[in-house]
Amino acid sequence: MDCKTARLLLDFARPQARELVPEEAGALESHLDQCLDCHGLAQGERQLDERLGKAMRQIEVPAGLRDQLLARLEADRGDWYRRRFAHGMRAVAAVAAVLLLGWGAWRWLIESMPAPIDLQTVAAAANHNAAEDPRTKIEESLKAMGVETPLSPHLNYNLLAWPPAKAELPGYPGQKVPMLVFERGGRRARVYLVATKQIPADGPPTVGGATYKLEVLPSEGEPYTFLVVHDGDNLDWLRPPEPPAT
Amino acid sequence: MGELGSPQTVQRLVDEHYVTLYRYAYRLSGSSADAEDLTQEAFCKAQVNFGQLRDPSRAKPWLFSILRNAYLHRVRADRQQHCVPLESVGDLAEPLPEALPDIDPERLQQVLNELSEVFRTPIILYYFEDFGYREIAEQMDLPIGTVMSRLARAKAYLRTRLLEPSAPVLANGRAPRRATDGL
């Protein structure tokens, strides 16, 4: 080994560095043993390293630093748990909010989307309604209006055009009574249900007029009397069909 | 959030390394108040990120690395640092006098304060503990050649400033011009 190589390797041969492989370290030591110049240089460098290392580590550590550190770490640990708890709570709240939003959106979607219609169901229901006696429904509707009376047998309820509703009795503003509307072939009749006690017992059964006629249907002993206002010559079209002869 | 170390583990970590870590922090920052703060900060970060320490035998370099990052964070915030440039300083060994005097630790700190962090950290790590070139390179995330070059220049600068009685010591680490960090 020559002096130039030896001086370059000196940096790697310091005790702390341990960068040289044993062969290189051995060759360097052999050279230093033989070369006085390099030996002196190495000795000086090692002495400088030793002095610098010693001075570098010569620092007084404050008394109580350890306890101070442990106290601070303990306090930090408490903070960490509090932060962790808050973090967890925030996460739970976020998840709950997302779930709530999702549920709300799902509900909105379900409610805003009309349910699919089964045509068979519609047809079956229509047939069922047609087969049903319309008087049952009319009686229920009247009952809901506070009127409980048997229906007049002189009317064909299959011709009812609208569900029963309350309407003002012509000539008596503000007095609303149940009204049934019947239609057939361009003819129309409105039937008002009036308390029997309001009708004069000796009154005429028919009252004529320019356009409309009023007929009082017989209602012996019943609480309500049916007044028919119509625009035809007679009420034949509104009569119930004759039962088939047996 | 990281993984919290158990109280016993953290206490053992403190017991084993707080002296070294404080001294390293002192040499880096040049002040005992900053060194205490940095040491505390490093241990606090280590406590809450304990899961990052995969190999317990690497606790020391891990702690040193945390402390250095904390220090660099502060240094970056304080842009008023003045350091000497080392471009003109040679890195080849010159013969030394036969009997070297002891080096005054305070004066050493003054001279260290004149160096920019990129030179100061490797020289501290090198002389301070058992850090070799490779470990310093890992610690600073630098190529080993760069570490060697910086070490040689920093050492040459220390030698000039500490062993030449005529060399003036710069007050408060102030230098004629700003340091350039990279080489």
For the cut 50, the answer to whether the pLDDT of residue B174 exceeds it is no
Residue A106 shares a structural domain with residue A57 = yes
Find all residues with CB under 8 Å of B171, minimum gap 6, and list them. Answer: none
Residue A246 DSSP SS3: coil
Same domain, A137 and A226: yes
The pLDDT value given to residue A54: 87
Task: For residue B22, list chain A residues with Cβ-Cβ distance below 8 A.
Answer: 59, 61-62, 65
* Partner residue facing B93 (CB), from A7, A17, A47: A7
The verdict on residue A117 lying in a domain is no
The pLDDT of residue A232: 82
How high is the pLDDT of residue A214?
A: 94
Pick from A56, A81, A112: which residue ends a domain?
A112
Structure tokens at B145: 């050649």
Q: Tell me the pLDDT tens digit for each residue of A197-209.
A: 999 888 888 898 8
Q: Are residues A89 and A150 in the same domain?
A: no
Collapsing DSSP states into helix, strand and coil, what is residue B54? Answer: coil
**Residue A202 falls inside a structural domain:** yes
Question: Is A243 inside a domain boundary?
Answer: no
Contact B133 A19 (CB under 8 A): yes
A228 located within any domain: yes
State the pLDDT at residue A76.
87
Tell me if A187 is assigned to some domain.
Answer: yes
For residue A147, name the pLDDT band (cuts at 50, 70, 90): very high
Q: Which residue of B has its CA nearest to A49?
A: B127
Query: Are A86 and A176 contained in the same domain?
Result: no
Whether chain B has a CB inside 8 Å of the CB on A21: the answer is: no
pLDDT for residue B94: 58
Residue A150 contacts B, CB cutoff 8 Å:
no
Please count the CA atoms within 13 angstroms of the CA of A48 that sit on its side-chain side.
24
Say which CATH number the domain at A201 has: 3.30.200
Contacts of B18 in chain A (CB under 8 A): 61, 65-66, 69
CB-based contact A69 B39, cutoff 8 Å: yes
Q: What is the pLDDT of residue A100?
A: 96
| Contacts A59 to B, Cβ<8 Å | 22-23, 26-27, 105
Domain co-membership, A140 together with A105: no
Q: Does A62 contact B133 at a Cβ distance shorter than 8 Å?
A: no
Give the ranges where chain B is alpha helix by DSSP (H): 7-29, 32-48, 59-77, 105-114, 117-128, 133-140, 144-163
Q: What is the mean pLDDT of residues A160-176?
A: 93
Burial classification of residue B151, based on how many CB atoms lie within 10 Å of its CB (0-12 exposed, 13-18 middle, 19 or more buried): buried
Does any CB of chain B come closer than 8 Å to the CB of residue A76? yes
Residues A138 and A174 in one domain: yes
Of A51, A61, A72, nearest to B100 by CB-CB distance is A51
Kindly give the interhelix angle for B32-48 and B59-77, rounded to the nearest 10 degrees: 120
In a domain, residue A244? The reply is no
Least CB–CB distance from B19: residue in A61, A76, A87: A61
For residue range B38-65, what is the model confidence (pLDDT) as tens digits? Answer: 999 999 999 988 888 888 888 888 999 9
pLDDT at A105 over 90: yes
Same-domain pairing of A9 and A94: yes
Q: Which domain holds residue A184?
A: 133-238
**What's the mean pLDDT when you consider all of chain A?**
88
| Burial group, residue A25, by CB count within 10 angstroms (0-12, 13-18, 19+) | middle
Residue A121: pLDDT band (50, 70, 90) is: very high
What pLDDT is attached to residue B167?
55
0.85 surpassed by complex ipTM: no
Yes or no, beta carbons of B93 and A41 under 8 Å apart? yes
Do A216 and A141 fall within a single domain?
yes
3-state SS of A148-180 is CCCCCCCCCHHHECCCCEEEECCCCCCCEEEEE
- The answer on pLDDT for B21 being more than 80 is yes
Closest-CA residue of chain B to A45? B96
Q: Is the pLDDT higher at A20 or at B166?
A: A20
Residues A184-228: tens digit of each pLDDT? 988 999 999 999 999 988 888 889 888 889 999 988 889 999 999
Q: Evaluate whether residue A64 is within a structural domain.
A: yes
- In a 10 Å sphere around its CB, with 0-12 CB exposed, 13-18 middle and 19+ buried, how is residue A39 labelled? middle
Do A12 and A87 lie in one domain? The reply is yes
The pLDDT of residue A38 is 85
**Which amino acid is residue A196, in one-letter code?**
T
A120 has a pLDDT exceeding 80: yes
Instruction: State the pLDDT at residue A146.
Output: 93
The arithmetic mean of pLDDT across residues A107-112, rounded, is: 89
Q: What is the pLDDT of residue A144?
A: 94
Q: Is the model's pLDDT at B178 over the cut of 60? A: no
Residue A94 lies in a domain: yes
Do residue A45 and residue A87 come from a single domain? Answer: yes
CB atoms within 10 A of CB A23: 8
| Mean pLDDT to the nearest integer, A48-54 | 86
Confidence check: pLDDT of B180 > 90: no
The minimal CB distance from B128 to the residues A11, A44, A56 is found for: A56
Closest-CA distance of chain B to residue A34, Å: 17
Q: Please tell me the least confidently modeled range out of A225-234, B3-12, B57-66, B115-124.
A: B3-12
DSSP string, A175-212: -EEEEEEEEETTEEEEEEEEEGGGS-TT--SEE--SS-
- A28 and A98 assigned to the same domain: yes
Structural domain total, chain A: 2
What is the predicted pLDDT for the residue at B181?
35
Shortest distance between the Cα of A91 and any Cα of chain B, in A, equals 13
Residue A173 dihedral angles phi and psi, to the nearest 5°: -60, 140
Q: Are residues A72 and A155 in the same domain?
A: no
